[in-house]
A and B are shown apart, each in its own frame.
Chain A
Amino acid sequence: MMRGAKGGIGIIELLAITAGSIVVGAAAGAADLEAGRALYDDKCAQCHGLSGEGDGVAADALDPRPRDFTSGSFKIRTTPSGELPTDPDLASIIERGMPYTGMPAWDFLGDEAIANLVAYIQTFNEDFADPEMRVDPVEIPSPPAMTEESVEKGRQVFVENKCGECHGDQGRGDGESAPTLMTDAGIPIRPADMTKRWTFRGGSSRSDIYRTFTTGLDGTPMPSYADSIDEEQRWQLVDYVYSLSEDEPGYGSVVVAQPVEGPLSLDPGDGSFANAPVTRFPMLGQVTDPGRAFAPAVNAVEVRAVYNDEEVALLVSWHDIAGRREGSNRPNGRDAAPADAALSDAVAVQLPSKHGGTKPYMFYGDPANSVDLWFYEAGANEARVYLGRGEENLAPAPAGGDEIRAKGVYEDGRWQVVFVAPRGSGDAQRVPQETFVPIAFSVWSGLARESGNRRAISSWYHLYLAPPDTGEAYKAAGMMGLGALVAELLVVASVRRSQAGGQS
């Protein structure tokens, strides 16, 4: 009886396994192309185009542009340079997306739908159908331990292989040749900023970076180093690049200014800034007003601040692949700058003109609530003050107002601009202590032909002048700790007394 039952289950199991493998085999062998096409036309064609040429309606506004699937050239692959990607390569990029590009993560579509898309995308280039054109992926071994030694050796690999010629000596993407780099399609391309690992298109894990060094980014100036740098050294290079960046951008919402004694310095290297906490804000394309910037050159600013009784100093820094001091720039205007005009880099800090009123509109204020714009132009290496009552109504502030001092330094791919401004007093007080003052930023890259409304912007954030640290927290800790100790001793003493009393 027991034997018979067991035998019966065995046969059913066998049948089930056989049937299951037929179904699975059929699915793997022939994904549903029609379903893939329908999904592609619905969700992908708006960027990649109905015929897969990367020319959908949104394509012109995107940088990097959407992939042209007919080219057969793909940046992120586990196959050697110049080869077609594997099916899992394509599925992986659809699932994960590409950070800081127009390609979002489509993981919610599910494996089956993604498999259908992978199959359909391959119909755009006939090479995919030729088994001889399909090659095996390279092996991505599991990463060896990252050590101080491997990082230091990686730095030497970086120097020996002249990675800095494109990526810059500090890895900020500001190499000598950076402004001249083009894709195979003749479109300008910026080298990766290695200090912002979270923007790496192919992912930011050590294995991802190793894959990029090993297989290159096809169609871009980034080659494969599989033949020129051995595996051990490639891992060392991975570790060095990995060490240049934090894990996450850690975007903040408040610049906390520290009080300092004495006059404020215009030198970004001044020691007072080193003690002030740094806050990073995301920068976005200005797409709200005409003259839109869909893909600005700068994706973040970092801000520190210090203050004394009369003034506040802001150190605003950001990365650009080239520092442009030639020419001039302007904060407003919808039209693109004339093609022959030299455009310098620029940055602006925006605050409400009046403290404590209604918050002005984030794009240069509104008719009822104006903003002050401190506009630093690298060409002049000084700041001008504008009064804004809206995007179309921004004009130099009337004479006799606040004098804003500013100086900027560009070095190794990083601008550092210091603004020193009066805090105002009485009714004109603009930056009081212990108050959340709205603050916003704009950045223009001369190289990227940004000027006027064509710029990177931030939302409104806050500037907060922290009071001097009087050690309140430490006092509280000391008092409470001492209190706990005294209470403890009293309990022990009373218990012991009562025990002694009870025993006697």
Chain B
Amino acid sequence: MPDKQNGRGLPVIAQVALVFAGAYLLLRFSVQPPIPSSVLGMYMFFVGVSLMLFVSSDDDRFAEFKRPLIQLLTAREHKVPRLVLGTVFPLLVAYLGYAGAHTEIAPPGQQRTVHPAPPNEIDFKGKRIDVLTAENPFRHLAEEEPEAFREHVARGKDVYYRNCVFCHGDNLEGDGLYAHGLSPIPANLADPGTIAQLQESYLFWRIAKGGPGLPVEGTPWDSAMPAWEKFLDEDEIWEVILFLYDFTDQHPRSWEE
């Protein structure tokens, strides 16, 4: 171990600075997800206090630590750095004061439930549809009549690219032509956390009733999702649902699982 009092190794003050900077970099950049800045500030406070306790626990080490500081503040030959530091420090503090009082004008965030609880049933053009139990009338064809099933998927694909692509995107990732101007952004249907977690009947509700059909926790006023019952018939909606799962290689959630 290097003996600092004999002048070997790094000066104590440099060691302290290195440990402090190292701790900051480690906490700031190597932890995912990132630590909030207020918590980071707390951690760094404790790192600082610990370092001071360590330094002052030994009189010699403390003296060693203080020496360059005292020299900087008193020695005649350090006049220039002293003046520079003496000017920069208050300016820095003044800037922090300015930045602290000058807050960015940003609207308050708003709570939003992405997949709110559906109603038990909906009225679709005069027909009652049970949102909890309704089944896709074409789903059973997947095994029974694969060719007919592919035709329904193909029709669903046409429905998608005539209607949905503008917001949900060519690759169903919610990044269509108009996505940059929408808040909430269009759903990413390819994400495993979206349609794979839902039943087909839930999708039928979301598509048929769109933004206006959302409950309050889904912020219906901000959603640009059309109530597709204005444009599509029942078969078209079930077909586009087939396509959404088929294209993204996902499967709807069902009660049997």
Contacts and interface: CB of A to CB of B under 8 A. Distances in A.
Interface stretch (A167-175, A239-247, A285-293): A285-293
Interface in B167-208: 167, 169-171, 175-178, 180-183
Main secondary structure of the interface of B (DSSP, over half): helix
Contacts of B91: 481
Contact of B167 (A43, A283, A287, A460): A287
Q: Interface size bucket, B side?
A: 35 or more
A448 interface: no
A102 B177 contact: yes
Interface string A354-372: 0000111111001001000
B212 interface: yes
Given A290-B230, A459-B222, A477 B94 contact: yes
Contacts of B95: 477
Contacts of A27: none
Given A366-B212, A481-B90, A285 B226 contact: no
A472 B157 contact: no
Contact of B222 (A102, A294, A362): A362
Interface in B219-234: 219-226, 230-231
Nearest to A472: B101
Given A104-B169, A287-B178, A361 B98 contact: no
B94 A284 contact: no
B222 A284 contact: no
Interface stretch (A189-197, A226-234, A251-259, A321-329): A251-259
Contact of B74 (A47, A464, A495): A495
B73 interface: yes
A179 interface: no
A477 B224 CA distance: 44
B162 interface: yes
Contacts of B96: 480
B93 A43 contact: no
B230 A289 contact: yes
B226 A288 contact: yes
Interface in A436-493: 436, 458-460, 462, 464, 466, 472-485, 488, 491-492
- Chain A's interface size range is 35 or more
B97 A495 contact: no
Contact of A492 (B73, B169, B171): B73
A17 interface: no
A282 B161 contact: no
A46 B247 CA distance: 13
A254 B106 contact: yes
A310 B105 CA distance: 23
A363 B211 CA distance: 10
A31 to B, nearest CB: 22
A496 interface: yes
Contact of B93 (A47, A57, A483): A483
A445 to B, nearest CB: 17
B183 A459 contact: yes
Nearest to A44: B170
A436 B108 contact: yes
A353 to B, nearest CB: 13
B221 A466 contact: no
B15 to A, nearest CB: 22
Contacts of A284: 178, 181-182, 224
A287 B212 contact: no
B222 A57 contact: no
A164 B94 CA distance: 50
Given A46-B161, A57-B161, A366-B221, A281 B181 contact: yes
Nearest to A469: B102
A395 interface: no
A56 interface: yes
A197 B161 CA distance: 28
A58 B160 CA distance: 9
B89 interface: yes
A61 to B, nearest CB: 7
Contact of A473 (B98, B176, B180, B226): B98
B94 A484 contact: yes
Interface in B140-183: 157-158, 160-162, 165-167, 169-171, 175-178, 180-183
A504 interface: no
A142 interface: no
14 contacts: A46-B161, A46-B165, A61-B166, A108-B171, A251-B180, A287-B166, A287-B178, A287-B224, A459-B181, A459-B224, A472-B101, A479-B97, A495-B73, A495-B74
User: Which 3 A-B residue pairings sit nearest by Cβ, starting from the closest?
Assistant: A481-B94, A480-B97, A282-B181
Given A466-B105, A481-B93, 20 more contacts: A43-B171, A46-B157, A46-B160, A47-B161, A56-B161, A58-B161, A104-B175, A251-B181, A254-B107, A256-B105, A288-B211, A288-B225, A289-B226, A361-B221, A362-B221, A472-B101, A476-B100, A477-B94, A477-B95, A478-B94
